[in-house]
Structure 1
Amino acid sequence: MNRYKDKKIVAVGGGHGLGRMLAALKGFGSNATGIVTTTDNGGSTGRIRHCQGGIAWGDTRNCINQLITESSLESIMFEYRFKGEGELDGHNLGNLMLTALDNLSVRPMEAIQLIRNMLKVEVNIIPMSEHPSDLKALTEDGSWVHGESSVDQMEEDLLQLDLQPKVPATHEAIVAINEADCIILGPGSFLTSIMPPLLLPEIGQAICNNKNAKLIFIENLSPEYGPAGRMSIEQKLEWCEKACGGRVIDVLIGDTLHANLSPKWPFFKADLASENSEWRHDRTKLMKAIIAQLDIDPEQI
């Protein structure tokens, strides 16, 4: 029986951050949904996109990896990364499996459903869009930088983020946001994991329209590099709110107090770090921090 059957939670982001968040929400089962960034153009994912086209699968694979509950031959295969020389070196078999299933399916969502069923993953995984798109950033000198990897490495500060080409949001993502009791942004790379889904107008508008959901922003435990590392927490919250039609973030969760933070944003201080790594969020601590924001009996944890 689902212990949290009365609450639906949506987490938005990508990379390791969203995977960690969804692993923390595993107890919500199918009432938890991850809306995953699909703009990555680096590593194995970037090489596959260059050869095959399609959306970026790396962040989706990472989320599924962190949600696997039973070790099996299928899970070992999904997590396997090739080593050695030649074209396969560095490729993750899970990325190749998702690409192959995508090619065999009518739409990417079907490929994800097949993998979730195979690996017994209960939490819903939804790509932000089922159409390929890339991140681009406008620098202060008026030039555009293209590609998620390039944006992360920018030495200049940026004025604006956008997607190229413009693509529609996945229908299931909008439905999940509309039905959510809680919407979580982060943790993760701000410009390249959290922001891309919010750049889709339908997603930003859906978050704006759902006034009943608690909108939570979760800070990273260590500073970012590149342009995101030069942004203040206030700037990040303002960027999110602008993308979400002015919808004010209800609570900021982090482990460090901000002396000059506007009272507009209530702050919830929590020790979230894993015992093994100061920069990695602990799944149980994350879960308890989220539970504290919802009307859930702690005895159900």
Structure 2
Amino acid sequence: MNLYKDKKVVAIGGGHGLGRILAALKHFGSNATGIVTTTDNGGSTGRIRHCQGGIAWGDTRNCINQLITDPSISSMMFEYRFKGSGELDGHNLGNLMLTALDNLSVRPLDAINLIRTMLKVDVNIIPMSEHPSDLTALATNGKWVTGETSVDEMEDDLLRLDLEPKVAATFEGVEAIAAADAIILGPGSFLTSIMPPLLLPKIGQAIFDNQKAKVIFIENLSPEYGPAGRMSLKQKLEWCERACKNRKIDVVIGPKEHSDLKDNWICVTRDLASPNRDWRHDRDKLRLAIEEQLNS
């Protein structure tokens, strides 16, 4: 069996974590799909959303950046970040390109596919939704906060997450989950990267419905801060399962043993750290860990 041709893998998340996973899956080509969080409201992305509206492009841009294998003028343009004292300071040209293409296209997914073609990226990248929405959180003090940056800065613990407004999941993302042999959650910021796509009912339902797929949770290598940092791994796994209609996570892969979890989850201990940056996942180690699960 040729693993890369016979197996389909879907990874769900955002930011740098999903980009590392997709880079590890690049040998799967179009059999690999990333479903990307689109609720970011900080940095260049937040400024564009404030002025132009639309979905957040920063996480999608980051994933594409990590999948570029042939450096070119086009890729240099896509990764370019403006510096200076004017309005362009801090903006990433890739975000602006995606915004412009979105305005010219029928759908945001069309804009992504145009960029993928231009930069020769085979892995599918699909926004969790093609409609703008923000992450909201209910704190233990009874107050709601809105926006990823505000959720990350919460001093109180949170009781629940939601999306405002309610939006539909992208059809192609739901279809990719239905056909997947493995569904990967993480690594990444738990509340602001991993959870937002799972809050879309059709994504959670699709994960539940695909009982043949192996659902894999990959731990972070460095601690989180804010409310996510105050959550235990057990709580995070329970939150994921609850969002997926109580679909069981089949395996948890991380750098250390979790004896307190072994009664409820299969935990696999693997060294996934990059040799020169122990807080970042190594692409080849991730690839081998995922292939091990697909072969088991």
* TM-score (normalizing by structure 1): 0.97
Alignment of 1:35-184 (within 5 A): 35-184=35-184
SS in 1 for 2:163: strand
Distance apart, 1:15 and its partner CA: 0.3
Aligned-partner Cα distance in 2 for 1:213–1:3: 15
SS in 2 for 1:281: coil
Other-structure match for 1:299:
none
Other-structure match for 2:219:
219
Distance apart, 1:264 and its partner CA: 1.7
Aligned-partner Cα distance in 2 for 1:290–1:38: 25
Distance apart, 1:263 and its partner CA: 2.0
Q: Which runs of 4+ in 1 moved over 6 A?
A: none
**Would you say the 8 A contact 1:273–1:282 is kept in 2?**
yes
Distance apart, 1:291 and its partner CA: 0.6
**Would you say the 8 A contact 1:12–1:36 is kept in 2?**
yes
**Would you say the 8 A contact 1:3–1:27 is kept in 2?**
no
The residue identity in structure 2 corresponding to 1:265 is W
Alignment of 1:26-41 (within 5 A): 26-41=26-41
1:120–1:3: structure 2 CA closer, same or farther, 3 Å change rule? farther
Aligned-partner Cα distance in 2 for 1:116–1:244: 30
Other-structure match for 1:18:
18
Distance apart, 1:3 and its partner CA: 5.7
Other-structure match for 1:242:
242
**Would you say the 8 A contact 1:13–1:186 is kept in 2?**
yes
The residue identity in structure 2 corresponding to 1:198 is L
Other-structure match for 1:4:
4
SS in 2 for 1:290: helix
SS in 2 for 1:274: coil
SS in 2 for 1:187: coil
Deviations 1:18-69 (A, max 9, x none): 0000000001000000000000000000000000000000000000000001
SS in 1 for 2:280: strand
Distance apart, 1:288 and its partner CA: 0.4
Deviations 1:124-179 (A, max 9, x none): 00000000000000000110011000101111100000000000000000000000
SS in 2 for 1:174: helix
Aligned-partner Cα distance in 1 for 2:94–2:84: 18
Structure 2 residue ranges without an equivalent (≥5)? none
Other-structure match for 1:269:
269
Say whether 1:288 aligns with 2:288: yes
Other-structure match for 2:253:
253
Other-structure match for 1:188:
188
Aligned-partner Cα distance in 2 for 1:294–1:148: 33
The residue identity in structure 2 corresponding to 1:82 is F
Aligned-partner Cα distance in 1 for 2:259–2:69: 41
Distance apart, 1:181 and its partner CA: 0.3
Aligned-partner Cα distance in 2 for 1:56–1:34: 15
Aligned-partner Cα distance in 2 for 1:182–1:259: 25
Structure 1 residue ranges without an equivalent (≥5)? 297-301
Distance apart, 1:259 and its partner CA: 2.5
